[in-house]
Amino acid sequence: MSGARIIDGKAVAAALRNEVAAGVKRLQATRGLTPGLAVVLVGEDPASQVYVRNKGRETVAAGMASFEHKLPATASEAELLALVARLNADPAVHGILIQLPLPAHIDPRRVLEAISVNKDVDGFHLYNVGGLVVGNTIFPPCTPYGVQLLLDTTGTDVTGKNVVVVGASNIVGKPMALMLL
């Protein structure tokens, strides 16, 4: 068994942020395009508010447009689906994130599947999840992809190795297991 190694996630994240910002500048210079990310928060969950605030800050820091949509916890599923439809149709919005969890009266699967596959930057749409199985997804799920990037930047090859994934959530555990296959 090899020795433990500390991965400097902050350094990896900083390098990735710089790479994304450079890519945004190239898009702006060559195509006159500023990528836009819409983040939707339903309700007042404190942790979700922090995540949304951080996503918006990082989006702007990378030179992208950030569109934040906050709905009250009492918003109906129909209202949320109507917002998703507007964001799907908006040419300034290139990516859509629905902050989970959603209030209990809203079916998250129905909402996530309403997002255009080409704008589903969380990788939660059924098409993207299915794409993990065959190795062809438009957007991989964010957290498992981040883990994969950490493994790649450290030169860690898991081919032929036994890997343990703790948890089987649809957001992290299952996609992580599929990506590690």
- Where in the sequence numbering do the catalytic residues fall? 55, 99, 122
From residue 66, alpha-carbon distances to 29, 39, 53, 86, 143 in Å are 19, 8, 10, 15, 20
How many secondary structure helices (H) and strands (E) does the chain include? 7, 3
Q: Please state the φ and ψ torsions of residue 163, each to the nearest 5 degrees.
A: -125, 135
CA distance 173 to 98: 19
The DSSP output letter for 119 is: G
Compute how many other C-beta atoms are within 10 angstroms of the C-beta atom of residue 35: 19
